[in-house]
Structure 1
Amino acid sequence: MSERKQLKTKKIGNRDRTRLSPGQAQQQTESSQPAVTVSPDDFSSRLELMKTEIKQNPDVVFRRFKLGFANLEAAVVLIDGLTDKDLINEIMKSLMYGVAETPPDPQPAAMNIKDFIEEKILPASKIKAVSTVKEAAEEVFTGFSALLIEGMPEILILETPSWKSRGMEEPVTEALVRGPRLGFNETLSDNISLLRRAIASPQLTFVDYWIGKTAKKKLVVAYMDGIVDPEIVREVQTRLERIDIDHVPESGYIEQLIEDNYLSPFPQLQNTERADRVASALLEGRVAILLDGTPFALIVPVTFSMLLQSPEDYYERWFAGSLMRMLRFAVAFVSLFGPSIYISFVSYHPGLIPTKLALSIAGTREGVPYPSFIEALIMEVAIEILREAGLRLPKPVGQTVGLVGGLVIGEAAVRAGIVSPIMVIVVSITAISSFAIPQYGAGIALRILRFGAMFFAALLGLYGVTLFFLLICIHFVKLKSFGVPYASPAVPYRLSDWKDFILRMPILMMKRRPKMLHTKNEVRKG
């Protein structure tokens, strides 16, 4: 974790947490509900209070014992399966038998016992003291252990989390030919260590929060201190403060709760499993949000052009990177407007089609009982159903169903005279184009808007397609992501940012960070 410098206490959900501005922090807590203060007078009563707070679930362990160096009772409270049993056993062995030197007299100065235990006995790497049973119970449910000692007015929280987690593997949703193979997993500490390994700099700052009222989860905001615009960090913190929800099972909840316009079909935060993508975004001056329990990190702010970029664009030479990026912009256009342009030409503007091609299309459509719009709608819906079925079935079966289903349905529809062969070709090209978009969320947005473009084409032909395109452009211009225009760097126009827009210029030419982010340090290459 990074240094903590300035502090402001705020609440997320009904749980206290510390709000830290960029490069500033320290810790302080404040309870949103009346907390039960730990009384040192009666050890048994304090332990009963803890049992009442934790509800004595079967997986909760209450282990009572006596300190070896003093005639004092003690107890360790932990959750079986969330804590490291070997470390707990070592700690208890140290408390029951291990004495480094003669301890202080426990009667006149109880706090001396606490200092002695922390400095001479406990082998835990991180220890903190809390004064309320509620705070101690919350820490226990996150995998920490609580140590209660007779006569001590505080409860010691020991860092002993340990649970089974998935190993670091290659990201499934963002496969690359060239680039790092490790991606995030569901363990927050592993994900933070990946970023630390990718960016070995003291400027890399992590600010942790607890989020959720009923089931709390740890969330981390990452940024590069000295590079990021402090206004962006403050905006992220402000939006996180507004979250008031029982449980956040996945980062998709965070994305929906803090985005600028929930009515927009376009994603305004970028989600990724790749640590190298997050590291590059942080070094550009963006902010990352990582949530415990999910391999998907969020990046803000985001522009639409980012959703069509791949980390591989920078790992290959600029010729190949630029070609692939231009191809993605082209396939995004085809994915959005392919069927609508076909509907416009066939239904309203056949004179714009070359004569031989027009005659060929007319021949293939002979006997088809539906207009081109209904024909396209049937095929698009069938493709979407096959795509969804392929995702939900087991991988070996899903691939077979997708391939066989597409061939069988397409061939059967043509033979039955429901659709024309040219329509099968158009829909197939459109479906393949949508698969070439690196970000799954961006592909879904274009697939949704594709049906709108088809309706406009059926009503007004090419005029309807043009009108729909203008509506999307207007929406792009108005849409923002954490204060950054979504259409940047096209609107507002910034020539320097075009070096990493449709073309990926040589790295030697990209000496400055994007101006749209208003970074504190613009130069990234001398």
Structure 2
Amino acid sequence: MGFFNKSLINRRKQSLSSLKSQNQEHTQKNDLHSSLSENIRKVKETLGDSDDIIIREFRIGKERKLKAGIFYTDGLIDTASIQNFVLESLMFNIQDIDIDKNVASKDHLLQLLKDSVLAVGDLKELTDYNHLFNLMLAGNVILLLDGYTQGFAIGMKGGKERGVPEATSENTVRGPKEAYSESLRTNTALLRRKINDQNLWFETKKLGTVTKTNVSMAYIKGIVNDKVVEEVRKRLDQINIDGILETGYVEELIQDKTFTPFPTIFHTERPDVTAANLLEGRVAIFVDGSPHALIVPSLFVQFFQTADDYYQRADIVTLLRILRFIGFFIALLGPSFYIAVTTFHQEMLPTPLLINLAAQREGVPFPAFIEALMMEVTFEILREAGVRMPRAIGQAVSIVGTLVIGTAAVDAGIVSAAMVIVVAITAISSFLVSSDSLSISVRMLRFVFMGLAASFGLFGIIVSLIALSNHLCSLRSFGIPYMSPLAPFIVEDQKDVIFRFPRWGLFSRPRLISQKNIKREDTPLPKPDPRNQK
């Protein structure tokens, strides 16, 4: 008897556990309810009855027997399309159909709506609340019918968007002026206009547990290195954060985990720059809501190149690139070299210049390092203030402030006139660096070099340059050496580093980036012969 009681208890426990697991499974599925009113209640309850969520109930079919409802987020959809292609189609195009007589089953009605009634291109079926909320809040119109546990998500994204703007941070003399906007689809369309090829592929993921931001990865199949694509895909999948609001979020989360002040991911606002990098075998990353694209892998020499470099003649571009590299070294070493020479190595200066500098510093109470530090900090404050202030007065305040403070500091005997000249040349040279992210890195390292120059003179500068070179050579961007093609030195890729070869000489892609389909053409174009020209 006790045995039967135990077996009965065990059976009841098993039935209860199976019932509990079924309830949990149903809860995890979060299926739609067959009652339209219950679905409306669920939507309002989940979204807090937000006033931007529009719910419209109506009846369809002959004698208006079947209740239907549409749900959408105001401001994210095209309201005119709803009127023309959803409401009009459902309320008038099937008004002669007797649903009770002419529709054999529920699946028959859903198929009828899908095939013959809803005149839209983007149509998805949904059966649970998770997809309902994700699609509705992403700009889709949700259609539900009373008595059905299945609905449709109709793609009708629209609303207010900024048009295609003009590039502001990457200005060019020649070439297109268009730039990316905050719309992901607008940005991908701009890139499609540049590369009209079936091998241009896009992979879109939703990142951010709360924001559910669309992040798209673009590359050209057959040119890109498959290992780089797999690495980018892997790093994007590892992102676990509540929100992605800009490309800067993704950049910090996927960049190589190496402590460095130098940027290892390139960002641009220009579609033509993105297209040129994709043609070299790189991968572009777009974030919905950001007017920039990330380019990986990125190399050190890439931050000295601009779009104008490929729209002008090769000799002009070569001269401009040499000027950029010179400006980079002046911005990095200008104040530190002045401090080292005037403090430790006065014998390197001509006697008249040394006497002149000594006369200027006669009434200055601070050493050269403190002078340079005060002026550099002051200039950085003015530069940051000019960026953050309103555009109408920001530039004027920074220029006037620099002139007034520099002149007043010299007249007050706080700094020498030579130091003001050195700091001014350094600041102007920093603007020659085309990439803003690399320019910020130079501004940070400048203070380190100044401190070493004040402590050890030229010896400190040389040792710090060696350490900096070793650090740069140790960096990698998605597996590619950061200093290539300089280190490792690749002779074939020197045609587009410091010097830019003419167009007929750029017939191959960077070897370490693409690693396949190296040649841009089957055979390089012949060099034009001036004797054949009349």
Q: Same fold, TM exceeding 0.5? A: yes
Note closer, same or farther for the CA distance 1:240–1:106 as it changes in structure 2 (3 Å cut): farther
Query: Counterpart amino acid of 1:98?
Result: N
Q: Give the one of 91, 103, 125 matched to 1:96.
A: 91
Q: Give the one of 8, 33, 52 matched to 1:59.
A: 52
Whether contact under 8 Å (2:375, 2:420) holds in the other structure is yes
Per the alignment, in what secondary structure is the counterpart of residue 246 of structure 1?
coil
Deviations 1:336-395 (A, max 9, x none): 111000111001111111222222222221211111000000000000000001111112
Higher mean C-alpha deviation, range 262-271 or range 410-419: 262-271
Query: Counterpart amino acid of 2:406?
Result: G
Deviation of the 1:103 alpha carbon = 7.8
Distance between the aligned counterparts of 1:229 and 1:99, measured in 2?
53
Which residue of 1 is the match for residue 364 of structure 2?
368
Deviation of the 1:410 alpha carbon = 0.3
Note closer, same or farther for the CA distance 1:505–1:101 as it changes in structure 2 (3 Å cut): farther
Deviations 1:438-490 (A, max 9, x none): 11101000000000010110111001111111111111111111001111111
Higher mean C-alpha deviation, range 271-280 or range 85-94: 85-94
Deviation of the 1:169 alpha carbon = 1.7
Query: Counterpart amino acid of 1:79?
Result: T
Q: Give the one of 435, 438, 441 matched to 1:445.
A: 441
Q: Percent identity?
A: 39
Deviation of the 1:419 alpha carbon = 0.6
Residue 38 (structure 1) aligned with residue 32 (structure 2):
yes
Deviation of the 1:54 alpha carbon = 2.8
Which residue of 1 is the match for residue 189 of structure 2?
193
Note closer, same or farther for the CA distance 1:525–1:359 as it changes in structure 2 (3 Å cut): farther
Distance between the aligned counterparts of 1:277 and 1:334, measured in 2?
27
Note closer, same or farther for the CA distance 1:76–1:335 as it changes in structure 2 (3 Å cut): same
Residue 219 (structure 1) aligned with residue 212 (structure 2):
no
Segments of 5+ residues of structure 1 without an aligned counterpart are: 1-30
TM-score normalized by structure 1?
0.91
Note closer, same or farther for the CA distance 1:486–1:103 as it changes in structure 2 (3 Å cut): farther
Distance between the aligned counterparts of 1:466 and 1:64, measured in 2?
76
| Structure whose CA Rg is larger | 2
Query: Counterpart amino acid of 1:83?
Result: I
User: Pairwise mapping of residues 115-514 of structure 1 onto structure 2 (< 5 A)?
Assistant: 115-261=111-257, 263-514=259-510
Whether contact under 8 Å (1:111, 1:152) holds in the other structure is no
Query: Counterpart amino acid of 1:54?
Result: L
Distance between the aligned counterparts of 1:130 and 1:210, measured in 2?
18
Distance between the aligned counterparts of 1:286 and 1:311, measured in 2?
16
Query: Counterpart amino acid of 2:126?
Result: V
Deviations 1:265-295 (A, max 9, x none): 1111111100100000011100000001110
Distance between the aligned counterparts of 2:42 and 2:343, measured in 1?
76
Query: Counterpart amino acid of 1:161?
Result: K
Distance between the aligned counterparts of 1:437 and 1:66, measured in 2?
64
Note closer, same or farther for the CA distance 1:44–1:366 as it changes in structure 2 (3 Å cut): same
Segments of 5+ residues of structure 2 without an aligned counterpart are: 1-24, 523-534
Per the alignment, in what secondary structure is the counterpart of residue 230 of structure 2?
helix
Deviation of the 1:46 alpha carbon = 2.7
Larger fraction in helix: 2
Distance between the aligned counterparts of 2:98 and 2:416, measured in 1?
90
Distance between the aligned counterparts of 1:236 and 1:338, measured in 2?
38
Distance between the aligned counterparts of 2:148 and 2:112, measured in 1?
12
TM-score normalized by structure 2?
0.90
Deviation of the 1:43 alpha carbon = 2.7
Q: How many aligned residue pairs are there?
A: 494
Distance between the aligned counterparts of 1:433 and 1:345, measured in 2?
20
User: Pairwise mapping of residues 514-525 of structure 1 onto structure 2 (< 5 A)?
Assistant: 514-525=510-521
Deviation of the 1:332 alpha carbon = 0.6
Residue 85 (structure 1) aligned with residue 76 (structure 2):
no
Distance between the aligned counterparts of 1:190 and 1:125, measured in 2?
18
Which residue of 2 is the match for residue 12 of structure 1?
none
Distance between the aligned counterparts of 2:327 and 2:474, measured in 1?
24
Which residue of 2 is the match for residue 50 of structure 1?
43
Note closer, same or farther for the CA distance 1:441–1:344 as it changes in structure 2 (3 Å cut): same
Deviation of the 1:399 alpha carbon = 1.4
Whether contact under 8 Å (1:350, 1:358) holds in the other structure is yes
Whether contact under 8 Å (2:268, 2:274) holds in the other structure is yes
Distance between the aligned counterparts of 2:303 and 2:181, measured in 1?
22
Distance between the aligned counterparts of 2:79 and 2:328, measured in 1?
52
Deviations 1:150-174 (A, max 9, x none): 2433221111111212121211111
Whether contact under 8 Å (1:477, 1:491) holds in the other structure is yes
Distance between the aligned counterparts of 1:440 and 1:525, measured in 2?
34
Whether contact under 8 Å (1:256, 1:262) holds in the other structure is no
Note closer, same or farther for the CA distance 1:494–1:103 as it changes in structure 2 (3 Å cut): farther
Whether contact under 8 Å (1:100, 1:120) holds in the other structure is no
Distance between the aligned counterparts of 2:195 and 2:46, measured in 1?
41
Higher mean C-alpha deviation, range 500-509 or range 113-122: 113-122
Whether contact under 8 Å (2:266, 2:294) holds in the other structure is yes
Deviation of the 1:107 alpha carbon = 5.5
Whether contact under 8 Å (2:103, 2:109) holds in the other structure is no
Residue 75 (structure 1) aligned with residue 69 (structure 2):
yes
Distance between the aligned counterparts of 2:159 and 2:491, measured in 1?
50
Distance between the aligned counterparts of 1:107 and 1:450, measured in 2?
77
Deviation of the 1:34 alpha carbon = 2.6
Query: Counterpart amino acid of 1:56?
Result: D
Higher mean C-alpha deviation, range 299-308 or range 149-158: 149-158
Deviations 1:295-353 (A, max 9, x none): 01100000111011101001001001111111111101111111000111001111111
RMSD: 1.7
